[in-house]
Amino acid sequence: MTTSTSDLPTLVPTFYTREITAALDAANRRRLFGFISGETGRSKTLTCRHYAAAHSDVTMIELPAAVNSAELVRLFAVALLGSDYGSQRANRLEIHNYLTRHRRLIIVDEANQLLHAANSRTIVKNLEFIRRNIFDLTNTAVVLVFTGYTLSDLRHGTLSGFLEQFRGRIGFPLQIKALRKSTEVKPIVLHYVPNADQALIDAADSIARPGDGKLRTLVKYLELAAEYSERKGVPITAEMLLQFRGRFEDGGAWEEDR
């Protein structure tokens, strides 16, 4: 089923969501093999979902867990063709035939799962399927999205031999820094509260700070605060935002609950 951007949570543009979009655009236009990595809560998945929803030639596959080679091929078949053809061989053939006739960008989210297969043989088979069958033989753009891995980690770890074959061909390798700049927070706050004061921005910054929270968590609290503000007819304040954090993270209570 095709998802439209209106069906997705709001994506607030930040420096890194724009960088992710630029990397996806580059891979799509030039049929590149791409690499995006960063810590959780940096809007990688949501940005990719919005990009896939806005582009009819993009397929996004979100790996749910470690998979064997047959399961991975089946996931690709269902995502691209809407059907499982009953065997790994049949699925591979249908995928190949489809991709040689249709230009696509395939985004593989939570690509970490490729490294968590039962054994190294399965890991290699899965990576070779993506490298050889998808990227090389059909000239299809692929972007792998990792959480918690850097390109350096992968080049010296399980993926080293795999990535060696892509040196010079990896386009726009994007490493999202773990240390978030405060300038990322302000545009998000202003999206919800155009006249936000510094106290509200500082409160939002404390929620999004690595170790204490994430940008994704901040957006959740801002959305809840916006709903509460509209329902009660009161402005969104720093105290309200921090109260949401206290209620959901620390088991705190609203004044009206006491």
Q: What is the pLDDT of residues 109-123, one digit of tens each?
A: 999 898 888 788 888
Q: Which residues of 146-181 are buried (b: 16+ CB within 10 A; e: fewer)?
A: bbebbbeebeeebbeebbeebeeeebbbbebeeebe
| Top-confidence range, 3-7, 152-156, 174-178, 187-191 | 187-191
pLDDT tens across 128-168, in order?
899 899 999 999 999 999 987 777 776 776 667 666 665 55
Rounded mean pLDDT of 201-228? 82
The pLDDT assigned to 254 comes to: 42
CA 134 – CA 138 distance, rounded (Å): 6
d(CA 161, CA 71): 23
What are the pLDDT digits (tens) for 198-210?
A: 999 999 988 887 5
Q: What does the domain layout of the chain look like in residue ranges?
A: 5-175, 182-250
To 10 degrees, what angle do helices 198-208 and 185-192 make?
120
Fold classified for 5-175: Rossmann fold (3.40.50)
Contact between 34 and 172 (Cβ < 8 Å): yes
**32 touches 170 (CB < 8 A):** yes
Q: Are strands 33-38 and 58-62 parallel, antiparallel or unpaired?
A: unpaired
pTM for this entry: 0.76
Mean pLDDT value across residues 70-97? 97
Q: What is the pLDDT of residues 7-27, one digit of tens each?
A: 888 888 888 888 999 999 999
Percent of the residues in the chain that have a pLDDT greater than 70, as a whole number: 85
